[in-house]
């Protein structure tokens, strides 16, 4: 293990570690463009120059391996000047059209210029223009070759990560230009990741184009709910323009969040653009057979029904169809309320068509929390279809459905039959045919509007956090469950999802020892050997 000194501080790193990573270990960030920890090293931008003692020339820290006894200076006058000159060259032909550039605000050229810039530029305005300004190169990505600094990250991404080889760098000298290989279009399922790794505004998101300036964004760490992988994301919402909110989407975009255990630095395009569901087609008020109704009346009716069934000893004939879209906390409360307290007929799965999957991130299971549901509610439960059938037979006093769009999965006929047999209460985030058919449809918050945890297909428990307020009258399902418990006088005192999780970790083995704090923003995996369910889900 080589031991070296960086900026006067000693650090020991595994053999083969690059200087830039060794410095990062000490909390020293060396400016860089082409280096990306998830990509092979190219060493072509020359931005990461550092001074190494007994070495006459500056060296690129992204490529040099740490060696025993090395003395590295990242802040010496020489190193700084080296980076300053590099930056000057990078900007030589850069258009600096930041006012119209979507990258402005999160652009590494801007950031490093603030740190290292000459601030009295020597270049003149005779820039080499490229053939075309911004143009789309695929369904999700815009390319502006004039802004490109030829770091080749995008090329390496398509070569090494997706192996689709769309990008290349063509021509030479100041005519070098990034572009697509002729005849190709950037349409692989992970294409928009090049937007994130491009350090400048050469590759920008077509969906995000001109929608918002990035400094208006508030950022909340969360987890993608597109499939059971549970890729870590950041929810970017419009924070600074409340005066413009009316009629505008609140969520502006999703960005991948680094998690070496789950998604590394990437997410798929389907997950990235799933943010649109958060603000569109939502159920924002209680509905009675499709017509606006009072939420309090709806909640009161369900609570009264539960209390009455318990009194009459018929609570076993309450059907509850929970969902793998619910958080661990909500599922736990479902278990406490409906199984422990009411011994109701419980289910959480329905037959679904197999989803698309690949060998990188995308999984076939399109629900974020099936592993958690199986662990908390158990695997031996009936399927949703059985509940429907019982309801249709008139065997149930009520059927409570969380999230599932029954009409889409089981067909409108079976839904109608069930609704005829027993009053149907649907707790849903979005309006759909099932909410129309229900006796009462109650709006619940979605994952961007509440905190909680999901368990992904690897048995990793990961936190989501509230980015925006619940839309309209909707409220988190765990709060609704707590309200029912109040009506049944169960004496629950949950103030937050965190306190539910504390109880969950105390009573469900797989979650033992976990707490909101130990999960952090990266999550934690179930203890090995315990959860057979998780293994089965994989």
Partner 1 sequence: MAANVKVLKRRELTWWENTFLPSIYAGLVITSRHFFGNLAIHISHVFGLRKKERGSTTYQYPEEKRPLAHRYRTRHRLMKRDSGETRCVACMLCETICPAHCIAIVAKEHPDPDIEKMPASFDIDLGKCVYCGFCVEVCPEDAIRMDTGRLDIAAYSRGGMILNFDHLMNPELPVLDPAKPVAR
**Where along the sequence are the contacts to partner 1 (CB under 8 A)?**
97-100, 104, 132-135, 209-211, 213, 215-216, 240-241, 243-244
342 counts as binding ligand FES under rule CB under 6 A? no
Q: Which is nearer to ligand FES, 44 or 185 (CB)?
A: 44
In terms of CB distance, is 198 or 468 closer to ligand SF4?
198
200 interface partner picked from partner 1, ligand FES, ligand SF4, none, CB below 5 to 8 A per type: ligand SF4
Q: How far is the CB of 75 from ligand SF4 (least distance, A)?
A: 24
Please identify which residue in the block is written with the tokens 């009573």: 507
Strand order in the sheet with 287-288: 291-292, 287-288, 440-443, 424-428, 398-402, 318-321, 345-347
Q: Is 33 in the site for ligand FES (CB under 6 A)?
A: yes
For the bound state, the minimum distance from the C-beta of residue 323 to ligand SF4, rounded and expressed in Å, comes to 40
Task: Closer to ligand SF4 by CB, 148 or 457: give it.
Answer: 148
Q: Which of 49, 70, 154, 422 binds ligand SF4 (CB under 6 A)?
A: 154
Please list the alpha-helical segments (H only) found in 117-214: 153-156, 193-197
- By the rule CB under 6 A, 200 interacts with ligand SF4: yes
Q: Identify which of residues 167 and 447 has a Cβ nearer to ligand SF4 in the complex.
A: 167
List of long-range contacts for 259-264, beta carbons under 8 Å, 24+ apart: 259/231, 259/232, 259/522, 259/523, 261/458, 261/460, 261/522, 261/523, 261/525, 262/229, 262/230, 262/231, 262/232, 262/456, 262/458, 262/460, 262/462, 262/523, 263/229, 263/231, 263/232, 263/361, 264/38
Q: Does 150 bind ligand FES (CB under 6 A)?
A: no
| Residue selected from 61, 86, 103, 323 as contacting ligand SF4 according to rule CB under 6 A | 103
320 strand-pairing partners: 346, 400
Q: Which stretch in 37-45, 129-137, 348-356, 408-416 sits in contact with ligand FES by CB under 6 A?
A: 37-45
What 3-state class would DSSP assign to 151? Answer: coil
Q: Is 101 in the site for ligand SF4 (CB under 6 A)?
A: yes
Contact 304, 345 (CB under 8 A): no
**In what order do the strands lie in the sheet containing 59-60?**
9-12, 3-6, 71-73, 49-52, 59-60
Q: Which one of 89-97, 181-189, 268-276, 313-321 is the stretch in contact with ligand SF4 (CB under 6 A)?
A: 89-97
| Binding partner of residue 32 among ligand SF4, ligand FES, partner 1, none, CB cut-off 5 to 8 Å per kind | ligand FES
Beta bridge partners of 135: 143
For 124, residues 6+ apart whose C-beta sits below 8 A from its C-beta are: none
Residue 217: contacted member of partner 1, ligand FES, ligand SF4, none (CB under 5 to 8 Å, by partner type):
none
Where does this chain touch ligand FES (CB under 6 A) — which range of 45-53, 212-220, 230-238, 436-444? Answer: 45-53
Minimum CB separation of residue 170 from partner 1 in Å reads: 20
Choose, by CB under 6 A, the member of 19, 52, 58, 62 that binds ligand FES.
62
Say if CB 403 and CB 325 are below 8 A apart.
Answer: yes
The stretch among 42-50, 72-80, 167-175, 515-523 that binds ligand FES (CB under 6 A) is 42-50
- 97 is a site residue for ligand SF4 (CB under 6 A): yes
45's contact among ligand SF4, ligand FES, partner 1, none, with CB below 5 to 8 A by partner kind, is ligand FES
Q: Does 45 bind ligand FES (CB under 6 A)?
A: yes
Which of these segments, 196-204, 210-218, 239-247, 445-453, binds ligand SF4 (CB under 6 A)? 196-204
Q: In terms of CB distance, is 211 or 383 closer to partner 1? A: 211
Task: Check binding of 109 to ligand SF4 (CB under 6 A).
Answer: yes
Min dist. Cβ of residue 152 to ligand SF4 (A): 5
Q: Cα 97 to chain center, whole Å?
A: 30
The item of ligand FES, ligand SF4, partner 1, none sharing an interface with residue 210, based on CB under 5 to 8 Å by kind, is: partner 1
Assess 60 for contact with ligand FES (CB under 6 A): yes
Say how many Å lie between the first and final Cα of the chain, rounded.
Answer: 37
For ligand SF4, the closer of residues 195 and 424 by Cβ is: 195
- How far apart are alpha carbons 156 and 44 in whole angstroms? 12
Q: How far is the CB of 102 from partner 1 (least distance, A)?
A: 9
Our finding on whether 35 is near ligand FES (CB under 6 A) is yes
Residue 96's binding partner out of ligand SF4, partner 1, ligand FES, none, with CB under 5 to 8 Å set by partner kind: ligand SF4
Residue 68: how many CA atoms within 13 Å on its side-chain side?
Answer: 2
* Cβ contacts of 314 within 8 Å, gap of 6 or more: 397
d(CA 42, CA 32): 12
Residue 50 CB coordination number (10 Å): 29
Closest CA to 290 of 419, 471, 433: 433
Nearest-approach distance from CB 86 to ligand FES, in angstroms: 9
| Partner that binds at residue 244, options partner 1, ligand SF4, ligand FES, none, CB closer than 5 to 8 Å by kind | partner 1
Cα distance between residue 18 and residue 2, in whole Å:
11
Distance from C-alpha of 330 to C-alpha of 480, rounded to nearest angstrom: 10
| Nearest residue to 102 (alpha-carbon basis) of 196, 197, 209 | 209
- As to burial, measured by CB atoms within 10 angstroms (0-12 exposed, 13-18 middle, 19+ buried), residue 258 is middle
Q: How far is the CB of 241 from partner 1 (least distance, A)?
A: 8
CA 340 → CA 20, 315, 319, 398, 436, distances in Å? 55, 11, 14, 18, 31
CA distance 373 to 225: 14
Token pair 């959480």 in the structure block, residue: 348
276 binds, among partner 1, ligand SF4, ligand FES, none (CB under 5 to 8 A by kind): none
Binding site for ligand FES (CB under 6 A): 32-35, 43-48, 60, 62
Binding site for ligand SF4 (CB under 6 A): 94, 96-99, 101, 103-104, 107, 109-110, 147-154, 178, 198, 200-203
């Amino acid at each position: 293990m080589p031991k070296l000194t960086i900026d006067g501080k000693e650090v020991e790193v595994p053999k083969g570690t690059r200087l830039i990573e060794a410095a990062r270990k000490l909390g020293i960030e060396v400016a860089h463009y082409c280096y990306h920890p998830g990509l092979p090293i190219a060493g072509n931008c020359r931005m990461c120059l550092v001074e190494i003692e007994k070495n006459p020339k500056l060296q690129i820290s992204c490529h040099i391996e740490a060696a025993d006894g090395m003395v590295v200076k990242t802040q010496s006058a020489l190193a700084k000047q080296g980076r300053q000159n590099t930056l000057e060259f990078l900007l030589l032909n850069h258009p600096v059209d930041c006012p119209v550039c979507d990258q402005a605000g999160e652009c590494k050229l801007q950031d490093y210029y603030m740190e290292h810039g000459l601030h009295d530029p020597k270049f003149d305005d005779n820039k080499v223009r490229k053939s075309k300004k911004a143009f789309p190169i695929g369904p999700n990505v815009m390319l502006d070759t004039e802004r490109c600094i030829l770091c080749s990250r995008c090329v390496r991404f398509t070569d090494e990560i997706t192996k689709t080889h769309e990008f290349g760098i063509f021509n030479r000298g100041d005519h070098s230009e990034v572009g697509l290989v002729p005849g190709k279009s950037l349409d692989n399922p992970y294409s928009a990741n090049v937007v994130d790794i491009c350090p400048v505004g050469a590759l920008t998101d077509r969906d995000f184009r001109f929608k918002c300036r990035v400094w208006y964004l508030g950022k909340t760490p969360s987890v993608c709910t597109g499939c059971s992988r549970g890729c870590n994301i950041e929810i970017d919402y419009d924070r600074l323009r409340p005066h413009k909110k009316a009629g505008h989407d609140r969520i502006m975009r999703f960005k991948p969040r680094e998690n070496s255990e789950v998604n590394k630095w990437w997410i798929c395009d389907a997950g990235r653009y799933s943010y649109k569901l958060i603000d569109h087609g939502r159920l924002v008020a209680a509905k009675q057979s499709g017509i606006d109704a009072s939420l309090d009346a709806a909640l009161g009716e369900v609570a009264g029904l539960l209390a009455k069934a318990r009194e009459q000893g018929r609570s076993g004939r309450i059907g509850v169809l929970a969902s793998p879209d619910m958080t661990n906390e909500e599922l736990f409360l479902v278990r406490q309320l409906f199984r422990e307290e009411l011994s109701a007929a419980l289910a959480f799965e329905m037959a679904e068509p197999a989803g698309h999957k690949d060998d990188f991130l995308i999984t076939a299971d399109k629900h974020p929390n099936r592993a958690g549901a199986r662990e908390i509610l158990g695997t031996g439960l009936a399927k949703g279809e059985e509940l429907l059938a019982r309801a249709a037979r008139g065997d149930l006093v009520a059927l409570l459905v969380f999230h599932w769009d029954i009409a889409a999965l089981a067909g409108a006929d079976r839904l109608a039959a069930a609704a005829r047999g027993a009053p149907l209460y649907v707790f849903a985030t979005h309006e759909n045919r099932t909410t129309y058919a229900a006796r009462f449809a109650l709006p619940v918050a979605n994952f961007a509007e509440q905190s909680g945890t999901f368990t992904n297909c690897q048995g990793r428990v990961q936190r989501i956090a509230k980015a925006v307020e619940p839309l309209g009258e909707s409220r988190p399902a765990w709060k609704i469950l707590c309200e029912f418990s109040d009506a049944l006088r169960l004496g629950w005192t949950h103030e937050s999802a965190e306190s539910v999780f504390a109880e969950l970790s105390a009573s469900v083995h797989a979650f033992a020892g976990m707490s909101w704090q130990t999960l952090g923003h990266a999550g934690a995996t179930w203890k090995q050997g315990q959860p057979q369910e998780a293994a089965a889900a994989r």
